[in-house]
Structure formats: C-alpha cells, structure tokens
C-alpha cells in the first residue's frame, strides 16, 4: 500500500477540477446537515461492506469534519480504494469552509418549523 498524503483545501479543489473524486466519510446525518457540493457520500461505517471506488475513479480525496477520522483510518481508506491514488483533506470540511470554498448547509424554514429542510450553498 502506498503512502496516503494529506493535502489542503486549495490543492484538493485543484485535483477535483482535474477529475478527482471527493468522498465524504461522515455519517448520513452529518452529511445531510452540511456537505461540499459534488462530494460523494460514503460513510466510514460502510467502508468495509462496500468499497467507495467506482469504475473510472483514479484519484480519491477523503474528508470528514476535522480530519481526525480520515487520519485515524488512512490505511483502511487506502485499502478500500483499489488502485486509486488516495489523499486526505487535512482539516476536513472545517478547513474547506475556512478556505472560503463552497459548502451546502441544510436550512430549516423559519416560517414553518415542521417543514422539510432545504439546502443553501454558502461560501464561508
């Protein structure tokens, strides 16, 4: 298994523009509250049951909230990624937001608190 490199949000954004796939390993409820537009959701709890790499994927960038889960599970993520080149987004979605990159957040309706959530894309 090759070494997994941790990269910053700006480098991750460059790789994504070149075709890399960003994978959010947070659980479903976390992803529903806030996510990076275009990120593929694949919860860490499902990594062993179902591999995140899809046909045609060559570069995968994993992220969580702060970077801790991806860092702790780097070997496991790399092992589940087949022949793909693997990176970790250092600082997770929090670093992505600090870099001013787009993030989609669930916004509940202030008029009708029981309505379903809707999305809003923000640039922090």
Reply yes or no on whether 64 is catalytic. Answer: yes
Find the catalytic residue in 64, 84, 103, 112.
64
**One-character DSSP codes across 50-94:** S-S--TT--EEEEE-SSSHHHHHTHHHHHHTTTT-EEEEETTHHH
- Burial of 59 per CB tally in 10 Å (0-12, 13-18, 19+): middle
Report, as residue numbers or ranges, the catalytic residues.
64
């Amino acid at each position: 298994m090759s070494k997994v490199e941790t990269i910053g949000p700006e480098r991750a954004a460059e790789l994504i523009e070149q075709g890399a796939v960003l994978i959010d390993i947070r659980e479903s409820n976390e992803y529903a509250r806030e996510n990076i537009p275009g990120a593929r959701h694949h919860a860490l709890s499902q990594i062993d049951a179902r591999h995140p790499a899809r046909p045609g994927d060559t570069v995968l960038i994993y992220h969580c909230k702060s970077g801790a889960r991806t860092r702790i599970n780097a070997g496991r993520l790399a092992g589940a990624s087949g022949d793909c080149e693997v990176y970790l987004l250092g600082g997770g979605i929090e670093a992505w937001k600090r870099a001013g990159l787009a993030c989609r957040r669930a916004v509940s309706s202030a008029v009708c608190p029981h309505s379903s959530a809707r999305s809003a894309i923000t640039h922090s």
